[in-house]
Structure 1
Amino acid sequence: MANNIAGDYYHTMDQDYNTKKTEFQREIGTTVFEGAEGRFHQSVQAKIRAGVGAIELQVGGQGENTGAESYGKEAREEIKKLAEMNEVDIHSVHIHPGYIGFAGFDAQRGNFEETARDANINEAMKGIDFAADVTKGGTIVIHTGEFNRPMVSGFKEFEAYEGEEYAADVFFADKESGNVQKLARDVSIPVIERELLVDAQGNAILDERGEKQWKPVWKEDAPVLKRKSWFTYEDELKKMGEGGFREKYSIPKDWKGNDLPGAALMFEYFNNQLEGARAQYDRWAEEHGETVRQISALQKRIEKQKAKEDELKARNDPALQEQYVQHPVSHEMVLKSQLYGENLRRAEGELRYRQELAEEARRNMEQIKKQKDNLSPIKDVALKRTADSIAKLGVVAWEKTVEKKLERPLTLAPENLGPWQYGSHPEEMVEIVDASRKAMVDRLTKEKIEDPTGAQVFNEKSNKWEPRLIPNPYFKKQFSGAEGERRAKELAQKHIKATIDFQHLQMWNKYFKRKPGESEPQREERFNKWFTKEVEMLADKGVIGNVHVVDGFGRGHVHLPAGQGRAPVKRALEILREKGLDVPMTSEGWFEGPSRQITEPWELEGKQMYTPLGTYNFSRDMMNRQYGMYAPTYLFGELAPHPEDFTVWSEVPLE
C-alpha cells in the first residue's frame, strides 16, 4: 500500500497536513458477495465490523440456497435492520453477472429469443423486489451485452485486432423473427451490373410499388457480371453520396444503421436470390399461359372434330373411316377426337404441374422479398427489445418505490461490460438509457404499443405490412394527456440510469489503436484522455446512477483496488465530484483481499485515519493494523492469544 499521505503525518498537533476534508470513507462503499463469503447475514456483518459506511449486495446465481428469493421476509428485515443499527447504507443491489443482456440474444443459436429475454427480466425482477425490502432505495445493477459486434463498427479509434476493418463480419437481423445473418467484409458476391430503367424522356420508370426499376446490363450475349465486397460498396458510397447510394440500392430512409455499405451488400445478396426466384416464376408463369392457350385450342378442335364425327355417324357415311388415325403408343386405330381428348388431358396435367411450380416460385419470391424488407441493423432489433425490457423493469421499480415508501427511488442501472458487446461503449450506454426511458414513457402512457418483438400484420387496405399493436398491461390512466406524459418522463429519468464501471471502461485500452510513430506511453496518455472525456460526457448527459470504483491495466477483466492499476480513477472521481454527482459508489477491487478493497479507495483521495505516535512507522499505521497484517498495540477478548500459547514445555512460569 502506498503511504505517501500517511508519511506526512508527524503529530496530532501538527496543522500542515495538506489534506482536503472529505466524507470519502462514507461515500465509497464495498461489494458484499453472497456465496463464497457466506449468506448476506454473515458477509454484511463482516463488512460492518471493517468500518464501511455503504455496501452493494451482489446476489448469487441459480445455485442452491442462493439468490434474492432464498431470503424470506424476516431474513430481509434482519439484513435491513442490521445495516440501519450500524448506520450503514445498503445503496445498491447487484444482479448476478451470469445474466447478461436484455435483448434476449442467444449466442449459441445466433438469434434473439424471447425465452432468454424473459429469463433475464425475471432475474432483475427478483433483484428489484429484494432491493425494495432491504434498502431505503438505490440502484439495481444489471448487465449490458446485447450482442457481440465488431470493434470497428462505429468506433474508428478502436480495433479488436490489426486488420479487423478488412475481415470483420457485417451483422443484420430480421426485425420480426430475430434471426441474425452475417456477411464478412472481405467476401465478395457475384452481382449483375444494373442501370436505371427510364422512358423516352429520360424519366425513371416506376414499378407497381412506386419504386424505381433497375435493369441488368448486357454486353453482347451475356450479362455484365461483377464481384462486389463491402469495400466495393464503400467506394461507391463515397462517389455517389448517401442519397444516390440509398436510392440505387433501395435502402429505406428509416434505416438507422451507419453501415450503409454493409446494407447494400446484404440487399444485393437478397436481390440475387430474388432475381433467381423471379426468373423461375416468370418461366413457369409463361409456360402456364402457353399451356392455357393450348388447352383452349384443343377444346375448340375437339368440339369441332366431335361435331363432324357425330354428323358422319348419323348419316352412316363411309367417310367416317377417314377420321380414324393410328394411336402413337398403342398403334390402334382411334378417332381423332379421342386422340385430341388424350392430348387435352395431358395438357391439363401439365397445366397443374406448371401452375404449382409458378405458385411455389411466387411464394419463394414473396418470402425472399419479405426477408429483405425485414432486414434491419442488428443494433435496431436489439435496442428495441432491450429498451422494452428495461422500461418494464423501470415501471416495476417505480411501483415498488411507492409501495414501500422508500426514501430514494429504486433505479435500474445497466452496467457497461465487455468491450466486444453492444452496451459497453459510453455512447451505447447513452443510447440504451435514452431508448429505455422513452419506452418506459410509452409503457405508462399508451394503452397499446408496437410489439417489441417486431411482429407485423398485413394491412389489406394499404397492401402493406405494419407493426402489430399489443395491449399494454403497464398502462395507467393517470398518465394520460400532456401532463401525464410529462410526469412519466420525470419518472423515467429517475428510475432508469446507468452504472459506469471504471475497470470495464479501462478494458477498452486493449483495443485503442496506436498511431504511426507513437510510443506506448503516448498511446496510454491519449487513452486516458479519452477515458476521462467519456466519463465527463456521461455525467453531462445525466445518465450515471451508480459507479463501480475499481482499477485495472486494461488488457483483461480484473478487480484491482482503486489506484493499483493504470485507469485514471482518481481524475474520473474528481470529474464526477466537480459535476456534483451524488450517486452510490462502490469499491469492486477485491482481487487483493477485502481489506485493500476498502482502504485503497480511501488512500486514493486521502484517508482520514493516521497514527498520533510521532514520526511515521509503517507497523503502527492505522491502515496496516486495523485493516492490514499487523496486530494492534492492545489486544483483548477473543483477539488476545491464549495464555497457554506462551509457556515453555515444562509449564514453568516465565517469571
Structure 2
Amino acid sequence: MIFGDYFSAMDRSYGGIEPADAPSEPEVSGEFTTSMGPQEIGTTTNPMQHQVTSFAAKIRSGTGKIELGFMGAGKSNSQQPSPEAFGKRDREDIRAMAEINEIKTSVHAALHSQSLAGLGREGFSGEARQQALKEIERAIHFASEATKGGAIVFHTGEWQRPISEIKDRTGASFLGYDDEKERAIKMIVADDRTGEVTGVRKDHRVYEPVFETVADYEKRNNVRLSGTTQRLFGENVTVNAGDWIDLNGNVIKEEWVLDEKKAEKLFDRVPKWQPDSTNFEVKPIEFKDFEEKAEKLRGLNPEKYGDITAEVLFYKTHLANQVLQAKGQSLYHAQRYDQYREERDAAKKALEFYEKLDESIPEDEKWKLMTQKQVGRYSEISQFVPPKNVSIKDHLQEQLRRLTDEMRHVHESSAYADTQAKKTLDQMNHIQTVEKYGLSKTAETIAAAGMKARDYTIAHRKELNEDIYMAPENYRPEQYGSHPDEIRDIVQKSRDKMAEDLMKRHGMNAKEASEEAKKHIKATLDVGHFNLWRQFFVAKEGESEESRGKRFENWLLSETQKLAKEGVLGHIHLTDNFGYDDEHLSPGQGNVPLKEFMKRMEAEGLKDFIAEAGSFNAETVLHDTWAALGSPAYVTRRAPTFRSVHDQHFGYHNPANYIVGAYAPSNEWKLWSEVPFE
C-alpha cells in the first residue's frame, strides 16, 4: 500500500523508483571506447589471504586476468604468506582453475627489503643482493608450477639520490624540498672492490692548500713556459698558465686526479708559502666549485670525462688531502733516518772493536777504556751536574740501543704513514658513482633472474601459455628506478647482461641472445607510482597550480608512451592516488589521467593491465575500474554500470526489507490503522 511519497525503511521499490541512498554513478567525461575487456584488465588476489581461496573468488568476480601477490619475505606466516607457503596441491589447484577458466596470470614477488643492487647498511654486498634474488626466484618457481606464465613483478628501490639531481630529457625539473639543491647528500661508492659507500654533503666544504701555478713559476724565475709542451708519461703535454707545477718546473694537470697512473704526481705540487704569517696558504672549496670543475672536464674531453661527476671530484680531493698529510708525517719522521742508520753502523763497529780490546787487556788497565757521560746533555741541568765515568763499551752499547730505538720509531711511524698514503692513493683510483656501480649490480641480479625464468619456461613449456618474464616495477620517486629514464636504463642494462650470459653459456649469437633477453625482461609500469612525481614537479615562474597539473600530466603521458613505444614495457599496474603517497585507490578515484593513459598504452599494443587493490578496495577495485572506464554491464533491461551492479547487489547499504527475531511482528495480521475487523 503506497500513500503518496511516504515510504518506511522496509518498503520495497515500486515502479522503478530508486531508493534515496543508492550509490551515485561516477561522472564519465566523454565517450571512452576500448577493445579491452576482462581478458586484458584484471586484478590482484588479496596478498594476506590464502591464495587458492582468493584466486577462486577473483574468478567468480568475472575477471579473466589475475595477479597472485605475496607480502611475506623469508620465513612467512599466515598473515603475510610467501610463494613457498603453498605446496604442490595448492599449486595444482591454482593452475587447474586458471586452465579451466582460461585465466591469464602473473605473480607479484614478495616485497624484499634489499635493493636489487644489494645496497644495505654497510654498502653494496653480494649477500644482500642474493637475498633479493632469492625472493624473486621463489616467485619464479611458484609461477612455473602454479600459473600459466606471465610477469614476475618486483619493485626497484635501488638507492636514494637527490630528486633535484634528476636530469630529465624533456627539461622538466623536480625538487624534493626547498633547499635540496644546496644541502642534499650525494651517495658515492668509496671503493668499487668492496662496495663501501659514503655520503657527500653538498653544503660541506673541503679545505686544501693553494698550490703554485705555472704563472707563479714564470714570475719568480723570469721564464716563459705557457704555450710550450713537455714530454710527460710518454706523451706531449701542453703547458697552461693555470696548471700546477713542481719544484723542477714540470707541469701537473688538474685532471690527473682521475688518472690512476698520473694521480701520484699531484703530490709533487708546491703549496704557496706566506712569509708574513709563516704558514702555507689554504682555501675553502665548496661543492659548486666541483660542479664547475666537472663541467669543465666534460667539455675538455667528453669521450674521456663524459661521465665524471662533482661528487667523485669532491671525494678524490678529500682523499688527496689525506695522502698529503700522511706523506708529510712520513717525511717528518724519516728526515733523519739516514743519519740514524749511519751513526748506528759506526757505533756498532766501534763497539765490536772495544769489546775485543776490553777482552785483551788486564783488569788493572781497563780504566784506560773509560769515558765521561754527560748527565742531561740536552737540558740545562748538565751544566750543574758533573759527568759520570762509564766504560766506552757500556757507553757505546747505550748509544747503539738509543739509535736502534730511533730507527724503530721511524720504521713504525714513517712506514705506517707511507702505508696510509698508499692505501688512500689506491682508494682514489677505485671511486665510482653509485649509478655506475649500482646499476651494473642491479643488471646482474635481474639478468640472473631472467636466466632462471628462461630455464623454468623451457622446463614447463607444456603447462605454460606464455613465457615467464622478469618485470621490474617503478616504485617511489625518492629511490633510483622510479624515473622513466632510470627504469629504461635498468631494463636495457639487464637485457644486455642477460644477452652476454646467453652468449657465454649457451653459445648464442648476439641477435639471438638479444631477442631472448627481450622476451624474459620487460618492465612493469605502475601509473600510480609515476603519479607520485606530481608533488615534486616544479612549477614555472608565475604558473598556476592548474597549469602545473596539466603540464605534469602531459609529461607523465608522453614519458610512459615513450617507454611503451621503445619496447621497454610488458605489464601495467593500474592504481590511483592524489600524488602524495602510494595509497592504491581504485582507478578513477584520484587524479591519475587514467583514460588518456589507457588509450596511449592500447595504441602502443599493450594489453596486460592489472588493477591493483589497496587497503579498502580489495573486493571492489575491479568493478570500480570497469566503471571508471565507462564499460557497461550488458543485460536485458536498462543498462547499469559495474559500479551499480557491485554496490547495489554485493555491497548495498540500504537496510534489508525483512526482519527476524524479536523485531518480527506477531503472526496475527492487523491493519495498519489497527482498526479491529469486528
CA shift at 1:548, angstroms?
0.2
Answer whether contact 2:83 2:142 (CA < 8 A) is retained.
yes
Instruction: Specify every segment of 5 or more residues in structure 2 that has no aligned partner in the other structure, as ranges.
Output: 1-23, 214-243, 376-385, 672-678
Hey, what's the Cα distance between the residues in 1 that align with 2:88 and 2:536? 47
Hey, what's the Cα distance between the residues in 1 that align with 2:428 and 2:262? 17
Secondary structure in 2 matching 1:414: strand
Answer whether contact 1:53 1:88 (CA < 8 A) is retained.
yes
2:413 to 350, 357, 363: 357
1:84 to 75, 99, 112: 99
1:72-117 per-residue CA deviation (whole Å, 9 max, x = no partner) reads 1121011111122222222x100122445211222xx252233322
Bigger mean CA offset, 390-399 vs 167-176:
167-176
Answer whether contact 2:155 2:475 (CA < 8 A) is retained.
yes
1:140 to 139, 142, 152: 152
CA gap 1:71/1:254 in 2 versus in 1, 3 angstroms: farther
Answer whether contact 1:60 1:68 (CA < 8 A) is retained.
no
1:435 to 478, 490, 493: 493
1:93 is matched with: 107
1:554 is matched with: 579
Pairs within 5 Å for 1:512-523: 512-523=537-548
2:624 is matched with: 600
Hey, what's the Cα distance between the residues in 1 that align with 2:416 and 2:37? 71
Hey, what's the Cα distance between the residues in 2 that align with 1:608 and 1:208? 68
CA shift at 1:569, angstroms?
2.0
Q: Which amino acid aligns with 1:649?
A: P
1:450 is matched with: none
Matched residue count: 584
Instruction: Specify every segment of 5 or more residues in structure 1 that has no aligned partner in the other structure, as ranges.
Output: 9-17, 247-251, 447-475, 634-639
1:199-255 per-residue CA deviation (whole Å, 9 max, x = no partner) reads 8776559999445533323333322201112012234455x4436699xxxxx9478
Pairs within 5 Å for 1:234-253: 234-237=291-294, 240-242=296-298, 253=304
1:501 is matched with: 526
CA gap 1:243/1:412 in 2 versus in 1, 3 angstroms: same
What is the TM-score of this pair, normalised by structure 2? 0.79
1:164 is matched with: 180
2:88 is matched with: 73
Q: Does 1:43 align with 2:89?
A: no
2:372 is matched with: 326
Q: Does 1:412 align with 2:431?
A: no
- Whose Rg is larger? 2
Secondary structure in 2 matching 1:393: helix
Hey, what's the Cα distance between the residues in 2 that align with 1:158 and 1:19? 32
CA gap 1:332/1:166 in 2 versus in 1, 3 angstroms: closer
1:274 to 323, 343, 346: 323
Hey, what's the Cα distance between the residues in 1 that align with 2:530 and 2:438? 22
Hey, what's the Cα distance between the residues in 1 that align with 2:260 and 2:114? 45
CA shift at 1:499, angstroms?
0.7
CA gap 1:571/1:646 in 2 versus in 1, 3 angstroms: farther
Q: Which amino acid aligns with 2:336?
A: E
2:238 is matched with: none
CA shift at 1:435, angstroms?
1.5
What is the TM-score of this pair, normalised by structure 1? 0.81
Secondary structure in 1 matching 2:45: strand
CA shift at 1:327, angstroms?
3.5
Answer whether contact 2:112 2:135 (CA < 8 A) is retained.
no
2:195 to 173, 178, 197: 178
1:153 is matched with: 165
CA shift at 1:331, angstroms?
5.8
Answer whether contact 1:326 1:334 (CA < 8 A) is retained.
yes
CA gap 1:179/1:21 in 2 versus in 1, 3 angstroms: closer
Q: Which amino acid aligns with 2:448?
A: K
Q: Does 1:629 align with 2:654?
A: no
Bigger mean CA offset, 294-303 vs 422-431:
294-303
1:63 is matched with: 76
CA shift at 1:144, angstroms?
0.6
CA shift at 1:272, angstroms?
1.4
1:219 is matched with: 274
1:609 to 613, 617, 633: 633
1:197 is matched with: 245
Pairs within 5 Å for 1:242-641: 242=298, 253=304, 256=307, 260-302=309-351, 313=361, 323-328=369-374, 333-405=389-461, 406-446=464-504, 476=505, 479-480=506-507, 483-582=508-607, 584-591=608-615, 593-594=617-618, 596-610=620-634, 612-613=636-637, 621-630=640-649
Hey, what's the Cα distance between the residues in 2 that align with 1:654 and 1:234? 91
Q: Does 1:122 align with 2:137?
A: no
Hey, what's the Cα distance between the residues in 2 that align with 1:326 and 1:632? 111
CA shift at 1:407, angstroms?
2.6
1:463 is matched with: none
CA gap 1:237/1:403 in 2 versus in 1, 3 angstroms: closer
CA shift at 1:576, angstroms?
1.4
CA gap 1:580/1:622 in 2 versus in 1, 3 angstroms: closer
1:401-436 per-residue CA deviation (whole Å, 9 max, x = no partner) reads 000003311111111111101111111111111121
2:220 is matched with: none
1:103 is matched with: 117
Q: Which amino acid aligns with 1:22?
A: S
Hey, what's the Cα distance between the residues in 2 that align with 1:361 and 1:200? 25
CA shift at 1:503, angstroms?
0.6
Hey, what's the Cα distance between the residues in 1 that align with 2:650 and 2:150? 37
Secondary structure in 2 matching 1:101: coil
Hey, what's the Cα distance between the residues in 2 that align with 1:60 and 1:494? 26
CA gap 1:243/1:593 in 2 versus in 1, 3 angstroms: closer
Answer whether contact 1:394 1:492 (CA < 8 A) is retained.
yes
Answer whether contact 2:107 2:143 (CA < 8 A) is retained.
yes
Bigger mean CA offset, 377-386 vs 165-174:
377-386
Secondary structure in 2 matching 1:382: helix
1:257-316 per-residue CA deviation (whole Å, 9 max, x = no partner) reads 5xx2222211111111111111112222333223112213334555676788789x49x9
CA gap 1:242/1:222 in 2 versus in 1, 3 angstroms: farther
1:52 is matched with: 63
CA gap 1:565/1:3 in 2 versus in 1, 3 angstroms: closer
Bigger mean CA offset, 111-120 vs 508-517:
111-120
Answer whether contact 1:255 1:376 (CA < 8 A) is retained.
no
Answer whether contact 2:471 2:521 (CA < 8 A) is retained.
yes
1:26 to 30, 36, 39: 39
CA gap 1:100/1:528 in 2 versus in 1, 3 angstroms: farther
CA shift at 1:574, angstroms?
1.4
Secondary structure in 2 matching 1:76: helix
1:187 is matched with: 204
Answer whether contact 1:624 1:630 (CA < 8 A) is retained.
no
Secondary structure in 2 matching 1:442: helix
Answer whether contact 2:99 2:148 (CA < 8 A) is retained.
no
CA gap 1:120/1:270 in 2 versus in 1, 3 angstroms: same
Hey, what's the Cα distance between the residues in 2 that align with 1:46 and 1:178? 46
Hey, what's the Cα distance between the residues in 1 that align with 2:436 and 2:252? 32
Answer whether contact 1:551 1:589 (CA < 8 A) is retained.
no
Secondary structure in 2 matching 1:29: strand
